[in-house]
Amino acid sequence: MTAESESVARIGSRPPRHRSSRTSYWIFLIPAVIGVVALIAIPIGLTVYYSLRNYNLQVGTDTFTGLGNYVRLLTGGDTGFLAATLRTFGYVVVVIVLDFVLAMTQALLVFSMKQHWARFWRAVFILPILVIPTASAVFWRNVMYAPHNGEFLKVLGLDRLVSPPLGDPRLAFWAIIVVVVWAWSPWVFVLFSTGLDQIDKTVIEASMVDGAGYFQRLRRIIFPLMRPVIFVTLTFKALDSFLSFPFVWVLTMGGPGDSTHILSTFIYQQAFNLLDYGNGSAMAIVMLVVSGALSIGAVLGWQRFYGREA
Amino acid sequence: MRRFRAIVRDIPRTALMVVILLWVLIPVYFLVATSLSPDGATLDGLVLPSAISFANYVAVFTGANDIWIPLINSTVVTIASTAIALILAVPAAYALSHLRHRRLGRGMYLSFFVLRGIPPIALVMPFYLIFSKSNLLNSLPGLVIALAPLALPYCVWTLRVTFDLIPREVEEAGAVDGAGRFRMFFSVVLPIATPGIAATGILSALFIYVDYIIVAPLAGPKTYTFSIYVTSFSQDFVQLVGPLSAAAIIGAIPMAVMFIISQRFSRRLASAGIH
């Protein structure tokens, strides 16, 4: 039912109400609006304020510089920031693709099983998300990727051939990706698996009677039915990967060199290690604008899928 | 013959399953085995620990680097922040559900989604600067205040769907009985919405519990949450690996509880946020 027909139907059956009741819903928004102003708008306003100053506790400067910080960032004056921005987009794309392939494979495997086995393997597949991200990252760093005794390379039989991955600028980024996908992709699996369970089983049984092969069924029936779930899950995952912080920070702190910095870690370092709050704030605002644009893009995309009710 | 054909057909699927299980379970094995190794011992490849010992768990609970304070801090901060977010978000979600056919109502709803995407780093810098001037640094109230905005937009965004699912006839019946707007909200709508609110609350609690970027600059040794505490094993000293693994597994217990409860309340996870 569309929004319009739904509301028309309701007007017909609506009992008489007090005049005040129509508008009084707005009162219920007051606590949240106060919360947003106090906890989000004022802090972000302060970030904007500092982004217009060269507030740096290490150098000891704090004067108004106008858009100076932004001009420097947007004209490529800070190559580290530029590299971190590009790397963040690469990180998002790689994580999304790997998460999709892995989680969809897991979900389809579980989907084809009998009920009690499905429940058991689903529980096994989600085990990694129970380990909190910082704990996963420290564990991978000190056990799986440990410099002298790393179990990861040993299991693959590469321990004499490859240098410890987190210390190698060419490997560190991919070593982080491995941890992120291992530790956090089960969320995507959970959402895909839930989506598959909501598919009408009779449609699939009908296609089996018709003699459709597995991949044909996948392409013609399961993927089209799953499209909204896939789209929503991956947009959420993309937005959240864009903001990702703990894995990179705990595993490498952006190193070796600056070879693994993504936006969150680069800005964090700028502010809390280099104490350059002016520049850090300007970077954070640039990041906020990008993430806001991505969020709006996601919403517009959903509305194309679901209509305006999304 | 038929049976043989079925087995052949299952080979690719079984092979795929084995590969995926190795991928998921090998690190899990190392985590569990390291935590159960005797004091200071480490594994060397895929072998069983030389002996099973709970020394690491004992060390975590009784040693100098003890787990109790971070666990208590995490519990307090998670519950308080989630409660604040829910108190602010529940009425708003209810209102936005009723106002969803109005342009402004829908616009506000969508703006909560955009707020959900605000980089936490853009929030934690000003909080740090404000707190350092007002004695809220290294304090639990400070952490509670700074973590609430992480959950608030998410809660509004997911809770509206919960209220959308409540049939309008329920409220119309209440209106005929003459219940005022507030009484209706508290005594008719809220009880029906409780499972949805609980599911949302638990998921946002989960994401507050694992937060690192907000807590790391604002907390001091006395106010470390669990998420920060585990990074204190981050030195490359081999002997800390055992207690670290034990702590990671202990920290997974609240995660498992929250995850299972949230699944039970609602299979509708489609908007879970993952930072």
Determine the Cα–Cα distance for residues B101 and A9; give it in Å rounded to an integer.
Answer: 13
Higher pLDDT, B179 or A23: B179
Residue A158 scores a pLDDT above 60: yes
Give the SS3 label for residue A56.
strand
pLDDT band at A11; cut points 50, 70, 90: very low
Cis check: omega of the bond before A256, within 30 degrees of 0? yes
B173 burial class (0-12, 13-18, 19+ CB within 10 angstroms)?
Answer: middle
- Taking the CA of residue B249 and the nearest CA in chain A, the distance in Å comes to 7
Phi, psi of B139 (to 5 degrees): -125, 150
Determine the Cα–Cα distance for residues B259 and B97; give it in Å rounded to an integer.
Answer: 26
Question: Which whole-number Å values give the CA distances from B186 to B171, B174, B180, B190, B191, in the listed order?
Answer: 11, 12, 10, 5, 8
Residue from B109, B121, B154 to probe the interface with A (highest A Cβ count within 10 Å): B121
pLDDT band at A20; cut points 50, 70, 90: very low
- The region of weakest confidence among A73-77, A242-246, A287-291, B268-272 is B268-272
Higher pLDDT, A167 or B156: B156
- The region of weakest confidence among A97-101, A149-153, B144-148, B212-216 is A149-153
Chain B residues in contact with A44 (beta carbon < 8 A): 118, 122-123, 126
Check residue A15 and report its DSSP letter.
P
pLDDT > 90 fraction of chain A, expressed in percent and rounded: 53
CB nearest to B88's CB, from A31, A129, A147: A31
Chain A residues in contact with B110 (beta carbon < 8 A): 299
- The region of weakest confidence among A240-249, B42-51, B93-102 is B42-51
Average pLDDT (A182-192) is 94
* pLDDT given for residue B189 in this prediction: 87
Give the SS3 label for residue A1.
coil
Does any CB of chain A come closer than 8 Å to the CB of residue B179?
A: no
Within 8 A by CB and 6+ apart from B68, the residues are: B61
Chain B residues in contact with A156 (beta carbon < 8 A): none
Does any CB of chain A come closer than 8 Å to the CB of residue B6?
A: no
Average pLDDT (A53-63) is 88
* pLDDT given for residue A99 in this prediction: 96
Amino acid at B23: W
Query: A102: domain CATH number?
Result: 1.10.3720.10
Does any CB of chain A come closer than 8 Å to the CB of residue B241?
A: yes
> Minimal CA–CA distance to B241: which of A137, A183, A139, A175?
A139
Does any CB of chain A come closer than 8 Å to the CB of residue B110?
A: yes
Contact A133 B212 (CB under 8 A): yes
Q: Closest residue of A to B113, CA-based?
A: A295
Phi, psi of A56 (to 5 degrees): -140, 110
> What CA dihedral angle connects B170, B172, B173 and B179, to 10 degrees?
110
Classify each residue of A50-69 as buried b or exposed e, where b means 16 or more C-beta atoms within 10 Å of its C-beta.
bbbbbbbeeeeeeeebeebb
Fold classification of B66-265 is MetI-like fold (1.10.3720)
Amino acid at B17: M
Q: What is the pTM of this model?
A: 0.89
Contact B88 A106 (CB under 8 A): no
* pLDDT given for residue B250 in this prediction: 94
β-bridge partners, A61: A56
H or E stretch covering A96:
helix A79-111
Residue A78: inside a domain:
yes
pLDDT band at A17; cut points 50, 70, 90: very low
How many structural domains are present in chain A? 1
Q: Closest residue of A to B243, CA-based?
A: A139
Contact B212 A134 (CB under 8 A): yes
3-state secondary structure chain B: CHHHHHHHHHHHHHHHHHHHHHHHHHHHHHHHHHHHCCCCCCCCCCCCCCCCCCHHHHHHHHCCCCCHHHHHHHHHHHHHHHHHHHHHHHHHHHHHHHCCCCHHHHHHHHHHHHHHCCCHHHHHHHHHHHHHHCCCCCCHHHHHHHHHHHHHHHHHHHHHHHHHCCCHHHHHHHHHCCCCHHHHHHHHHHHHHHHHHHHHHHHHHHHHHCCCCCHHHHCCHHHCCHHHHHHHHCCCCHHHHHHHHHHHHHHHHHHHHHHHHHHHHCCCCCCCCCC
Residue A63: inside a domain:
no
Domain that holds residue A75: 70-306
* pLDDT given for residue A23 in this prediction: 55
> Minimal CA–CA distance to B132: which of B211, B216, B213, B218?
B218
ipTM: 0.90
Check residue A229 and report its DSSP letter.
H
pLDDT > 90 fraction of chain B, expressed in percent and rounded: 50
What's the alpha-carbon Rg for chain A, to the nearest Å? 25
Contact A284 B121 (CB under 8 A): yes
**Is the separation of the CB atoms in A301 and A235 below 8 Å?**
yes
Residue A2: inside a domain:
no
- Taking the CA of residue A27 and the nearest CA in chain B, the distance in Å comes to 8
Per-residue pLDDT tens for A193-251?
A: 988 988 888 888 887 777 777 888 888 888 888 888 899 899 989 999 999 999 999 99
Give the SS3 label for residue A53.
strand
Q: Map out the domains of chain B as residue ranges.
A: 2-53, 66-265
* pLDDT given for residue B44 in this prediction: 74
Give the SS3 label for residue A276.
strand
Determine the Cα–Cα distance for residues B122 and B21; give it in Å rounded to an integer.
Answer: 39
Residue B40 scores a pLDDT above 70: no
Question: Which whole-number Å values give the CA distances from B45 to A156, B31, B251, in the listed order?
Answer: 10, 13, 25
pLDDT band at A113; cut points 50, 70, 90: confident
Residue B1 scores a pLDDT above 80: no
- Taking the CA of residue B95 and the nearest CA in chain A, the distance in Å comes to 5
Question: Which whole-number Å values give the CA distances from B244 to A250, B44, B256, in the listed order?
Answer: 14, 17, 18
Does any CB of chain A come closer than 8 Å to the CB of residue B186?
A: no
Question: Which whole-number Å values give the CA distances from B115 to A289, A291, B98, B128, B167, in the listed order?
Answer: 11, 10, 21, 20, 28
Residue from A130, A237, A247, A248 to probe the interface with B (highest B Cβ count within 10 Å): A130
- The region of weakest confidence among A84-98, B98-112, B164-178 is B164-178
pLDDT band at A38; cut points 50, 70, 90: very high
* pLDDT given for residue B263 in this prediction: 82
DSSP states of A60-91 as a string?
A: TB--B-TTHHHHHHHTT--HHHHHHHHHHHHH
* pLDDT given for residue B215 in this prediction: 95
The terminus-to-terminus CA distance of chain A in angstroms comes to: 13
* pLDDT given for residue B193 in this prediction: 87
- The region of weakest confidence among A12-16, A125-129, A270-274, A285-289 is A12-16
The terminus-to-terminus CA distance of chain B in angstroms comes to: 51
> Minimal CA–CA distance to A98: which of A238, A225, A202, A227?
A238
Check residue A104 and report its DSSP letter.
H
